């Protein structure tokens, strides 16, 4: 913030529609950005050890007010233009530029004012200029519901002792210290699911030091040997529960396994009644239900954190499903082999198979941004978008190889990440800073995070994430991306 105030001048971009790219509006003077966090009200209780004196027992945080930022521009037309926009828009301010000011990605530090409107304004006394250049300073205030910084990222390869593919990563959410548990930092506890080998059954690792070291906690998931294809983290009475799925076929039914004691012990659960079935992806929805995309076109749901599972959808396709996501309580999507694309509008009670975006290709991954726009990737390196729940599609990116996973951050559903693999293979991370409209490469794989192919991504917040992939240099590959030093 100090650098921002000292430099004073920033570059203002606005995004009026979620499906539009940012429009460069102007170079502008930017005043202080006020970020209310919400007032905290202390709660007290009697302390019997101190003769009943009152002591602080905690606090309740109030609802935060709007974020506000003042901007000044010596052109009245810009001020008027902002006032005339009647619908909320996203405002982006870049400062400490790296290059051309009008290019969104040329910055050292940026700020997103999410769901903004121009709420107050003033036209100052005209200033004398030369010739026809009489100028008027117009000052206004942007108010926004949410705010976040945007940083450039750099990759840091991590050291694992395992030797197989990393297929799944999940990060335990950060949490403040309390009487019920210790503090968990952002990105501190990371769970990793690996490809099966001859000497492992459901190989899983955990790091509790931000990826510095990884260990096997003693938990060996699944009755039947297999890859750990997906991991989700949910709350439990003891802190959190880790749930993983078996992604390779074996004797018996599909399986998940969960642990409530940080991997010391685990409980194996059969899912469905189809012999040899696998589960390729587990995803939570906003209600806390866990959804499983399975082979053979089956979809399962658990409403009790993985203890029991129910098959839904009536098997509207026989194609293997690879990913599943819900936009809200009612609307969800699943993708799979041979352009399989399934939709539900009733909370997953029933599913309908509709035409996907890419005939003759396998759809690998899907996610939804904050506006409900669907993003789907495939084995041909294509990224498709639909703004109308899958009725029509537009290809917004076409890479070589395949795009194995796409994800938006859970807080905003605005910052997107995808991993793309070339035919070499070589995995590359791409980032979207505008809700999925445009994607830019993060770092240089051959130097910043040399790898042999990427499979998965786990987002901690818009400026921190982990990726995993094929073994590199004889050991399993992971890298952590965070703010540039």
Q: What sign has the CA pseudo-torsion 305, 311, 313, 316?
A: positive
Report the alpha-carbon distance of residue 216 to residue 465 in Å, rounded: 21
pLDDT at residue 423 tops 50: yes
Q: Measuring CA to CA, which residue among 113, 93, 96 is closest to residue 24?
A: 93
| Long-range contact set of residues 212-215: C-beta below 8 Å, sequence gap at least 24 | 212/158, 213/159, 214/158, 214/159, 214/160, 214/161, 214/162, 214/190
CATH 2.130.10.10 location in the chain: 154-483
Whole-number pLDDT of residue 25: 83
Whole-number pLDDT of residue 106: 85
Per the prediction, the chain carries an average pLDDT of: 88
Q: Mean pLDDT across the stretch 242-250? A: 94
Express as a percent the part of the chain with pLDDT over 70: 88
Whole-number pLDDT of residue 5: 36
| Predicted confidence band of residue 217 (pLDDT cuts 50, 70, 90) | very high
β partners of residue 320: none
Q: What is the DSSP string of 463-481?
A: TEEEEEEEEETTEEEEEEE
392: how many CB neighbours lie within 10 A of its CB? Answer: 10
pLDDT at residue 1 tops 50: no
Antiparallel, parallel or unpaired: β 352-355 and 363-368 = unpaired
Express as a percent the part of the chain with pLDDT over 90: 62
When mean pLDDT is compared across 175-184, 192-201, 249-258, the lowest value belongs to: 175-184
When mean pLDDT is compared across 306-315, 384-393, 458-467, the lowest value belongs to: 306-315
pLDDT at residue 3 tops 50: no
Report the alpha-carbon distance of residue 377 to residue 365 in Å, rounded: 5
In a 3-state reduction of DSSP, which class is residue 375?
Answer: strand
In a 3-state reduction of DSSP, which class is residue 2?
Answer: helix
Phi-psi region of 323 (alpha: psi -120 to 50; beta: other; left: phi over 0): beta
Q: What is the DSSP string of 309-361?
A: -EEES-----SPEEEEEESSSS-EEEEETTTEEEEESSTTSS-EEEE-SSTTS
Whole-number pLDDT of residue 200: 64
| Predicted confidence band of residue 44 (pLDDT cuts 50, 70, 90) | confident
Whole-number pLDDT of residue 297: 95
- The fold of 2-36+66-151 is Pnp Oxidase; Chain A (2.30.110)
- The fold of 154-483 is Methylamine Dehydrogenase; Chain H (2.130.10)
Whole-number pLDDT of residue 96: 66
| Predicted confidence band of residue 4 (pLDDT cuts 50, 70, 90) | very low
The H or E element containing residue 295 is none
| Predicted confidence band of residue 98 (pLDDT cuts 50, 70, 90) | low
| Predicted confidence band of residue 64 (pLDDT cuts 50, 70, 90) | confident
Tokens coding 449 = 């995070």
pLDDT in tens, 131-177: 454 556 667 788 998 889 999 999 999 999 899 999 999 999 988 77
Whole-number pLDDT of residue 229: 97
CA distances from 427 to 376, 401, 414 (A): 18, 9, 23
pLDDT in tens, 5-31: 344 578 889 999 999 999 998 887 777
The residue that leads in pLDDT, 39 or 88, is 88
CA distances from 23 to 92, 161, 239 (A): 10, 47, 44
Q: What is the 3-state secondary structure (H, E, C) of 67-113?
A: EEEEEEECCHHHHHHHHHCCCCEEEEEEECCCCCCCCCCCCCEEEEE
CATH 2.30.110 location in the chain: 2-36+66-151
Whole-number pLDDT of residue 48: 66
What pTM was estimated for this model as a whole?
A: 0.90
Measure the CA angle with vertex 84, ends 79 and 85; round to 5°. 105
Whole-number pLDDT of residue 335: 98
The H or E element containing residue 444 is none
Whole-number pLDDT of residue 6: 41
Whole-number pLDDT of residue 234: 94
Q: Mean pLDDT across the stretch 192-211? A: 86
Give the chain's radius of gyration (CA, Å): 25
pLDDT at residue 236 tops 80: yes
Residue 247 main-chain phi, psi, to 5 deg: -105, 5
Whole-number pLDDT of residue 119: 84
Whole-number pLDDT of residue 328: 94
Q: Mean pLDDT across the stretch 223-241? A: 91
């Amino acid at each position: 913030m100090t650098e921002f105030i000292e430099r004073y001048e920033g570059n203002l971009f606005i995004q009026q529609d979620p499906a539009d790219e940012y429009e460069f509006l102007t170079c502008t003077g930017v005043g202080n950005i006020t970020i209310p966090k919400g007032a905290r009200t202390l709660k007290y209780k009697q302390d019997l050890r101190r003769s009943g004196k009152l002591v602080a027992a905690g606090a309740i945080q109030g609802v935060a007010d709007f974020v506000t930022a003042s901007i000044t521009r010596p052109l009245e037309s810009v001020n008027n233009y902002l006032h005339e926009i009647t619908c909320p828009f996203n405002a982006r301010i870049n400062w400490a530029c790296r290059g051309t000011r009008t290019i969104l990605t040329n910055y050292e530090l940026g700020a997103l004012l999410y769901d903004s409107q121009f709420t107050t304004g003033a036209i100052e006394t005209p200033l004398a200029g030369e010739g026809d250049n009489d100028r008027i300073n117009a000052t206004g205030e942007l108010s926004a519901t949410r705010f976040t910084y945007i940083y450039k990222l750099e990759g840091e390869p991590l050291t694992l002792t395992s030797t197989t593919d990393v297929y799944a990563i999940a990060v335990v959410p950060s949490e403040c210290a309390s009487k019920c548990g210790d503090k968990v930092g952002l990105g501190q506890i990371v769970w990793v699911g690996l490809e099966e080998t001859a000497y492992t059954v459901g190989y899983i690792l955990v790091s509790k030091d931000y990826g510095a070291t990884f260990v096997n906690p003693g938990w060996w998931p699944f009755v039947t040997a297999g890859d750990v294809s997906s991991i989700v983290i949910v709350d439990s009475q003891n802190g959190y529960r880790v749930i993983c799925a078996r992604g390779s076929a074996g004797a018996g039914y599909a399986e998940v396994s969960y642990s409530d004691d940080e991997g010391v012990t685990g409980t194996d659960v059969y899912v469905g009644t189809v012999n040899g079935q696998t589960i390729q992806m587990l995803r939570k929805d906003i209600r806390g239900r866990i959804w499983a995309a399975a082979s053979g076109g089956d979809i399962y749901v658990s409403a009790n954190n993985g203890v029991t599972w129910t098959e839904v959808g009536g098997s509207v396709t026989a194609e293997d499903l690879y990913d599943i996501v819900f936009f809200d309580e009612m609307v969800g999507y699943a993708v799979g082999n041979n352009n399989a694309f399934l939709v539900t509008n009733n909370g997953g009670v029933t599913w309908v198979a509709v035409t996907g975006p890419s005939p003759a290709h396998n759809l690998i991954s899907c996610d939804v941004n904050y506006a409900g726009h669907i993003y789907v990737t495939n084995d041909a390196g294509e990224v498709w978008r639909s703004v109308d729940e899958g009725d029509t599609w537009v290809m917004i990116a076409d890479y070589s190889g395949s795009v194995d996973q796409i994800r938006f951050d859970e807080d905003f559903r605005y910052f997107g990440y995808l991993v793309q693999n070339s035919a070499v293979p070589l995995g590359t991370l791409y980032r979207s800073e505008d809700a999925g409209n445009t994607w830019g490469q993060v770092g240089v794989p051959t130097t910043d995070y040399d790898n042999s192919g990427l499979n998965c991504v786990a987002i901690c917040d818009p400026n921190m994430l982990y990726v995993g992939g094929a073994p590199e240099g004889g050991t399993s590959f992971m890298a952590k991306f965070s703010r540039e030093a």
